[in-house]
Structure 1
């Protein structure tokens, strides 16, 4: 790996992608009484992990460029 400082951001983005894939794999269903059953909590978690990963990636990249100058 080129740089270990980007590892945390890549792991965060990977966890977000796994949450999205898990949400799609589990799917949704409607119970006989009309209740909707879905793993909704995975959507905001995935967006949060992806957002944090992108912010960390930008932050570490910018600080790396500034340290070189």
Structure 2
């Protein structure tokens, strides 16, 4: 579980971004412009992608190290 810490933190941050976007909400200003925290949507996808890639790397890397170790003996 310790090796997935970075992935879990990234995943929690990504869900925090999407939750904050929902809580903050959006509104229309009196002049007709839309006011919303749009930057949270790409941040959600960025952190979700980081979490997925880091989890995949942690899961796949031991297979390469084991195969190199056994092939040298």
TM over 0.5: yes
Match for residue 4 of structure 1? 2
Distance (whole Å) between structure 1 residues aligned to residue 59 and residue 6 of structure 2: 13
Match for residue 33 of structure 1? 31
Structure with the bigger RCO (C-alpha within 8 Å, sep 6+) is 1
Distance (whole Å) between structure 2 residues aligned to residue 32 and residue 40 of structure 1: 19
Residues 53-68 of structure 1 aligned to structure 2 (within 5 Å)? 53-68=51-66
Give the alignment's TM-score, normalised by structure 2.
Answer: 0.84
- Structure 2 unaligned residues grouped into runs of 5+: 68-73
Distance (whole Å) between structure 1 residues aligned to residue 27 and residue 9 of structure 2: 30
Distance (whole Å) between structure 2 residues aligned to residue 20 and residue 5 of structure 1: 25
SS at match of 1:32: coil
Aligned residues: 67
Give the alignment's TM-score, normalised by structure 1.
Answer: 0.88
**Over alpha carbons, which structure has the higher Rg?**
2
Q: Could you list the runs of 4 or more consecutive aligned residues of structure 1 that deviate by over 2 angstroms after TM superposition?
A: 64-69
Cα RMSD (Å) of the superposition? 1.2
